[in-house]
Amino acid sequence: MRTGAGRRWVWTLVAVGALTAVAGFLYLAFHPSARLDSADKAASVMFGSAGFLVATVSLYLALRPVQVDPETGLVRAQEALARQVARQWERESAARGLTRPDPLPVRWAITSRPVTARQATTGRTTRRRPGPPTRGDVTTLAATWRRMPAGQLVVLGAPGSGKTSSAALLVRDLLTDRHAGEPVPVLVPLAGWTPAEHLDTWLARRLATDYPVLTDTAAYAPRAPGRLVERRLVLPVLDGLDELPTELHSSALAAINATFADRPWVLTCRSTEYAAAVTAVGAPLARAAVIELSPLTATELADYLPAAQLDGPARWAPVLAALRASPAGPLAAVLSTPLNAYLARTAYAVPGSDPTALLSPAEPAELEAHLLASYLPALYPAVPPPTAPGDRPTPAYAASQAARWFRYLARHLDQRGTRNLAWWDLITALPSRTLATLVGLTVGLACLLLFALSDTPTLGPRMGAVLAVIVYLDVSLTVARPHHLALRLKSFTPVLATAVAAGVACGAAASQIPGMGRGSALSLGLGLAIGLGVRWGKPAPTSALIDPTESMRMERGLLLTSALVGGAVGAVLYGLLGGLPALQRAVGPLGPGGRLLAGFAIGVMLGTTVALMARIGRLWVGFVVARGWLTVRRRLPWRLMPFLHDAHRRGVLRQVGAQYQFRHARLQQYLAGTDGTTGPT
């Protein structure tokens, strides 16, 4: 294998040398009267660049790692995935309050709806191995699943009944007592999947994007996510069949049954939507047990509502008495769902608050609107809560400010038809023509300044105008996902080819511009550097297990890297070639330090311009422009990412990779005003 790779490298180096020689001959051909010393300098720069590339390739060949054995890599990938998932849901369980002070004991029982095959409900029971229980609570769900013969489970419930929370606790508990080699439970929202895509293909793609550590081919061998799925080393916990379009429910259920017929899996769905899908399919899933989450009782609420509150039992006593006196009344009906019970406890957890306000609304809709309206003021008191050790200081946001900002974000998501709040999608809030105009003006001004400093000021307005128009016409600034700096040499040949081609093209083009004779060598070096940066800038996973703020920093870092690389190359080459004639005439002769600063400035501008035209860093630039626009209009705060991070810590948002979501779809609907209420004021 290394022999073939060696041959490819030989031919790559030959191609590099040939392109360098051709560039040198072209330079001399277009400059027949050039002085010998000028040609010598240009040739020295080009061949010096080629020498640098040869040294880089040689270093890579000497240091490149040996490929890992696929089987060994697969074992490592599975254990790495288990660690990532465990860390993710330990953190999210705490952030969502699922374990504070104790998990809410939501009960479940085998559903009485006609959606279950008989053998799936009863299972196999022997003296040595009794069958799974027919009822329990979420704290015993993991043990129950382990006793299911096929390991196929459907969790049903009403809106707000705790289906996603139950699935999250199931994943966490399964990982707690997991043995090496057992399938890794992974919770994956079904939103965004269509039955037209094979479920295995989609699941492997989600693993690669949600857990990018699996794409490290040096550690886990190629195609680790796909091989984990193919070898059945992953337990898919598919959350939210009801979040797919209604017309896809039956075909999605049929696809799940066909793909996972003999594999373990878990699925959550609203009860009514699942029953309709089974009816449309014509038969229940043969091996899947179907359970349904039960409403909370007055006894369970009596334990949960005043928990972890110093004066809780006394303050909650009238409410609990009303629940016992009228177990079928509107108060009991509203608080019977874990979502509303959580909203009620959060709204009246502050000492001195009076939960008896819950006794005033006579209708369930009024009571639920009251809970939602009290939620944000309870989470954003006048005095912010204390900060945990090692965490960021808790900002002081006014409840009215937070409500206004959340209302705008909820409406923005509702207009886009999604629940995922990604920073790179914020640019869609700005009119596309306005955004394109601002970015185009930035590129045009950068080019104007670049050519003015390159002794060709007359070309600046023309080239700047052309590039500004190109960017303005290219209104598709919302690329699929942000980028990150992928400094890996596993595909060095195309990287090298792109860099050499960009360098030769820039050098040849610059040599034809009057006054840019010295700039041709600079452009060659800049083209090499920028070509490397463009090829190494890879799309980052949309839902990578990283902080959303870190995702933004990665995109910004790639743009700054391109600018700094261009600046470094410009400083070195202009410093060696003697500076800029136009700048010397304007301010007098430049010393070595002045030449380095001038070259650095031009290199930064050129590197930034080329990176933006290559769609590297454009999302971050667009985000900054859109954020400024929305801040001026009082829609969002300028420090948006710290605000979202704080909202996640308070429990308003939940994190899914590098994106946020509102804690529940019902909360997003209320804030957006699409649930029939007026929303927060």
> Could you tell me which CATH class the domain 70-293 is placed in?
alpha beta
Mean pLDDT of 418-438: 80
For residue 488, what are its two tokens? 């890996």
pLDDT digits (tens, 9 = 90+) for 203-215: 998 888 778 778 8
pLDDT digits (tens, 9 = 90+) for 105-124: 789 999 999 888 765 554 44
Which pLDDT band holds residue 62 (cuts at 50, 70, 90)? very low
138 three-class SS = helix
Domain boundaries, the chain: 2-63, 70-293, 298-379, 429-626
Give the model's pLDDT for residue 594: 60
pLDDT digits (tens, 9 = 90+) for 117-172: 765 554 444 445 566 788 888 888 999 999 998 899 999 999 888 898 899 999 99
The reported pTM is 0.72
Kindly state the helix (H) or strand (E) to which residue 631 belongs, with its residue range.
Answer: helix 618-632
Nearest in space to 238 (alpha carbons), one of 222, 256, 254: 256
Of 228 and 217, which is predicted with more confidence? 228
Nearest in space to 288 (alpha carbons), one of 296, 278, 298: 278
Q: Is residue 146 a contact partner of residue 222, using CB atoms and an 8 Å limit?
A: no
Q: Is residue 531 a contact partner of residue 492, using CB atoms and an 8 Å limit?
A: no
Angle at which helix 36-63 crosses helix 517-536, to 10 degrees, equals 20
